[in-house]
Amino acid sequence: MDVSLTGTAIATLGGTVRIPTTGRRRDLLHTRHARLQSIARGALEAVGDVDLAVIEGPSFHSAGGSAWDRGGLWWLIVDGLLDREIPTAIMPPRCRAKYATGNGNAGKTGVMNAVQHTYGAVFANDDECDSFVLRAAGLDWAGCPLVAVPETHRGGLLGCEWPDYEAVTR
């Protein structure tokens, strides 16, 4: 799951789902709250009942006026996953890029190109592409990789916070 204020994306067995939204950081508090609640509800509904959720971790070095809203949305979704007792992994952005490309500093275009080359998948936007990479990494970690990726790419799995493996495989 790639959490975004403008288009949270979730990759599932059936494909990718993007939760569109409207609003701006200048909106009133209750309007921003309703927006975050709506995105979180849509994301949790799209996730359904899964054995493992992989969510992109926060980008701690990102700047901008919406950092608090992004953090709030991230925690609403993680809270919902944990309340439903869904084993949840956190994959930092650099680990996502490394898993996709072999380079943790790869940009969005590099990740999209690598995903097209490796998986034959083309996405309309980087949110959906990133969610696909998170899903692929989670499946690889669980022992069911979509494709064999080089060990340099698999190194991206090492910097993640994974749940108890037994909770996922039972």
pLDDT at 41: 94
Q: Rounded to whole angstroms, how far apart are CA atoms 109 and 131?
A: 14
Q: What is the crossing angle of helices 93-101 and 108-119, to 10°?
A: 40
Rounded to a whole number of angstroms, the distance between the first and last alpha carbons of the chain is 22
Q: Rounded to whole angstroms, how far apart are CA atoms 13 and 135?
A: 9
Q: Is 41 exposed, middle or buried (0-12, 13-18, 19+ CB in 10 A)?
A: middle
Identity of residue 41: R
pLDDT per position as a tens digit, 70-111: 899 999 999 999 999 999 999 999 999 999 999 999 999 999
pLDDT at 3: 94
pLDDT at 123: 94
pLDDT per position as a tens digit, 2-40: 999 888 999 998 899 999 877 665 666 667 888 899 999
b (16+ CB within 10 A) / e for 102-127: bbbebeeeebbebbeebbebebebbb
Q: Which residues lie closer than 8 Å to 137 by C-beta, 6 or more apart?
A: 54, 91, 95, 96, 99, 156, 157, 160
Say whether pLDDT at 114 is over 90: yes
Q: Which residues lie closer than 8 Å to 76 by C-beta, 6 or more apart?
A: 36, 37, 39, 40
Q: Rounded to whole angstroms, how far apart are CA atoms 149 and 38?
A: 36
R_g of the chain, CA atoms, integer Å: 15
Say whether pLDDT at 48 is over 70: yes
